[in-house]
Amino acid sequence: MAPAVVAGPCGPVRATVDLPTSKSLTNRALVAAAVAGGGSIASPLDCDDTRVLAAALETAGWPVSWDREIEVGTRAVPSSSVKLDLKDSGTGSRLMLALLAAVSGRFVVDGSPRLRERPMAPLLEALETLGAQVRSSDGYLPVEINGTTLEGGAAEVRPEVSSQFVSALVMAAPLMTRGLVLAVHGVLPSAPYLDLTVDVLRAFGCTIEVSADRRHWSVSPGPLMPTHYSVEGDWSAAAFVLAAVGVAGGEIDVGPLDPASRQGDRAVVRILADAGLDLEWTDDRVTVRGPVTAPLRADLRHTPDLFPALAAVAACAPPGSRFEGLEHLKHKESDRLTVMVTNLERLGTRMEFDGNELVVSGTVDSVSGTTRRVTSAGDHRIAMAMAVVALGAGQLEIDDPDCVTKSFPRFWQVWDRVAGVEEGEGSVP
């Protein structure tokens, strides 16, 4: 898509925003329904990533019907080898690798150039210990799979860069003859996402036990139950709308959201409240008043998807914000730490970072009457974060605004309402 200009400072914001549902839960429900041999998903998130995973399931033999709800049917084994293109979907590719290793068929799993750079080795090594027949390019895509029923039993994994490796193994485990007893060693980033995996599997009838530290797993064998699963609102998407109030001030009503959700990104409300935002809950909606009045402090080891939105606020907040636990950001859709730092420094922000920790010592230069250029690096969360930054820095040109369709297809329409852009005058289609 062609570059587009994003509106600059708009004064205090006033808006009511209805959020999309969770991409993470939609993806997990799709795979759980496939393992169950059927199921339906209410209120799924319709975005690039979930459509890519649904198409991959269809290619691998599961009938998928997508209208207002998703219906997944009983699988028919393809008569020949099939190639699955997961495009930019890290979650989808990892979930599919484990699923396909545990069912009959011959497959090649591949994706975009960026997805080919994202590690798969810890998952593939664990699958091989369980008897899977996989062949990869040094632990990266493309991966050839000769799928078969796996015996299962005991296995170990060192996730290192992503908890998705653990999710992939336990979601495929009900298909294994003996189920799975899994030990997790080493670094375990983004651990709260594993709670979502557990919740979805239990909703489909899985017997699964996990220790409090998420290091020891036991998944019983046997079929899951076709289930009608309803997806809740997305805290990851909410972060960018809440960030707008953090920068511009004003008041926004946001929902539907579960205040007790197990989504790790729910931490955004605590982090912003600690920096001065006022929050008021009414049922499944939260009213937020800002702006922030103090530096932000957060350890994002388990919630790395919050970094772009929070960094955008920190660049416009009182100096002194500090973020820790950033070492895994380079393995996302882009090298998020490097891209955000480059963009923000281009806009005048002063920062110090060492790959794991970032301190903001000086805020963005607010400029009017000119348009400065920033890059999204093809990363949906970077593009949305730079829209937040524009509220403090001034009008910005973003090179690939359309990449938001990966997780928040209507983001720019929502953003026009947040920024007070009149209908028909929005700069981003």
- The secondary element (H helix, E strand) that includes residue 126 is helix 121-129
The answer to whether residue 305 is catalytic is yes
- Strand positions, DSSP E, 3-159: 4-6, 13-18, 39-42, 64-66, 70-72, 82-85, 105-110, 133-137, 140-147, 153-157
* Sequence-separated (6 or more) residues with CB below 8 Å from residue 422: none
Alpha-carbon gap, residue 100 to 107, rounded angstroms = 8
Say which residue the tokens 């994202």 belong to.
118
Alpha-carbon gap, residue 401 to 378, rounded angstroms = 8
- Comparing CA positions, the residue from 65, 24, 25, 21 lying closest to residue 46 is 21
Q: Could you say which DSSP state residue 100 is in?
A: H
Largest interatomic CA distance in the chain: 66
Query: In whole angstroms, how far apart are CA 239 and each of 149, 253, 259, 272, 320?
Result: 41, 13, 14, 10, 20
Alpha-carbon gap, residue 422 to 276, rounded angstroms = 29
Q: Could you say which DSSP state residue 69 is in?
A: S
Alpha-carbon gap, residue 231 to 348, rounded angstroms = 40
Catalytic residue among 48, 265, 305, 379: 305
Which residues lie across from 217 on neighbouring strands? 182, 210
Q: What are phi and psi of 131, to 5 degrees?
A: 100, 5
Structure tokens at 393: 């820095």
Active site residues: 305
